[in-house]
Amino acid sequence: MSDYRDLEESILNGEDEKVQALVKEYIDQRIDPMQLMTEGLITPMSIVGSKMKSGDMFIPEVLASAQAMRRGLELIKPLIVGEESSIYIGKVVLGTVEGDLHNIGKNIVSLMLESVGFNVIDVGEDINANKFIEIVKQENPDILGLSALLTTTMPCMKEVIEKLKDSGLREKIKVMVGGAPVTQEFANSIGADGYASEAGSAAEKAKQLLGK
Ligand code: B1M
């Protein structure tokens, strides 16, 4: 159990309103929003993951937990973005790859990128390689960020990089990959420019990729 036991329990029970009430209380107590997000909201989701794996939680319950977590996150977001966001660093197109509907981690990465000064175009989930190429052509971002939570959807990241090469766009853009099953080794093997294991380091890595 984390220090935020009440919050953890409410997330595990999928209690939206209770999660929001507790997050408001912690905010009123001036708890560091980053710590609240990491320990109070993200940690309980890994417990949900373990319970899902062991068959102690089923999809509807996992969805309820994810929804409750998101409701808490909505309240913390303005406290995390805001401060540094007057600085403009660059543009990122960010999405979850084809066949993958997981978006919580991607949304947190988006939040952290915005908090350090990136303009983030979040293109959503289940995006196929051709669609990514189309969006890159339209948006002309500095960085393309790809998220995958399923081992079965990771190959789409490679496909996107191959298609960027085929379209002559690869040299114009940095590609960053991440998500629970993704590793630095995998990122190297597909020729990505950057990898980050969590949202805070994703923002740092993105800055680094642009030499900032
Ligand atoms: Co699913 N799911 N899920 N799921 N789910 C996992 C990923 C799983 C590990 C659970 C398990 O078995 N233990 C497992 C994957 C196994 C595998 O492939 N290795 C799994 C499975 C199997 C499935 C289904 C196939 C289940 C089924 O239907 N039988 C199905 C697939 C649906 C699909 O996508 N096509 C499915 C469905 C779902 C729900 C819809 C119920 C729900 C998603 C709701 C939503 O996202 N809106 C869900 C959830 C919630 C999870 C777990 C429990 C939690 C994921 C999460 O939100 N974590 C997850 C278990 C787990 O991860 N421990 C699980 C919290 C989040 C903050 O962390 O997403 O890792 P994370 O993001 C981090 C980092 O990874 C990183 O930064 C983030 C913040 O620090 N990061 C990046 C992420 N993207 C990045 C990009 C970057 C850099 C860093 O650069 C661009």
Q: Are 17 and 100 part of one and the same domain?
A: no
Count of domains observed in the chain: 2
Q: Say if ligand 1 is within 6 A of residue 174 CB.
A: no
Q: Are 77 and 127 part of one and the same domain?
A: no
Q: Are 24 and 43 part of one and the same domain?
A: yes
Average pLDDT estimate for 70-77: 92
Average pLDDT estimate for 185-208: 95
- Return the percentage of the chain with pLDDT > 90, whole number: 83
Q: Which single residue is written with the structure tokens 């998500």? A: 179
Q: Are 106 and 60 part of one and the same domain?
A: no
Q: Which domain holds residue 116?
A: 88-209
Q: Are 78 and 110 part of one and the same domain?
A: no
User: Of the residues 102, 104, 175, 205, which should be mutated to test ligand 1's pocket, given the most ligand atoms within 8 Å of the CB?
Assistant: 102
Burial profile 70-101: b = 16 or more Cβ within 10 angstroms, e = fewer: ebbbebbbeebbeeeeeeebbebbbbbbbebe
Query: Which of 38, 53, 85 is the C-terminal boundary of a domain?
Result: 85
Residue 111 confidence class, pLDDT cut points 50, 70, 90? confident
Q: Identify the CATH number of the domain in which residue 192 sits.
A: 3.40.50.280
> Is the distance from CB of 151 to CB of 182 less than 8 angstroms?
no
The reported pTM is 0.92
Q: Are 186 and 203 part of one and the same domain?
A: yes
Q: Identify the CATH number of the domain in which residue 15 sits.
A: 1.10.1240.10
Rg (CA), the chain: 17
Alpha helices in 140-198 (DSSP H): 155-166, 184-190
Query: Which of 63, 85, 107 is the C-terminal boundary of a domain?
Result: 85
pLDDT at 75: 95
User: Of the residues 149, 197, 205, which should be mutated to test ligand 1's pocket, given the most ligand atoms within 8 Å of the CB?
Assistant: 149
Report how far ligand 1's centroid is from the alpha carbon of 150 (Å).
Answer: 7
Q: Are 74 and 99 part of one and the same domain?
A: no
Structure tokens at 127: 């995006």
Is residue 82 predicted with pLDDT exceeding 80? no
List pLDDT tens digits, range 9-38.
999 999 999 999 999 999 999 999 999 999
Structure tokens at 198: 């969590």
List pLDDT tens digits, range 128-179.
999 999 999 999 999 999 999 999 999 999 999 999 999 999 999 999 999 9
Is residue 53 predicted with pLDDT exceeding 90? no
Q: Say if ligand 1 is within 6 A of residue 199 CB.
A: yes
Is residue 1 predicted with pLDDT exceeding 50? no
**Mean pLDDT of all residues belonging to the chain:** 94
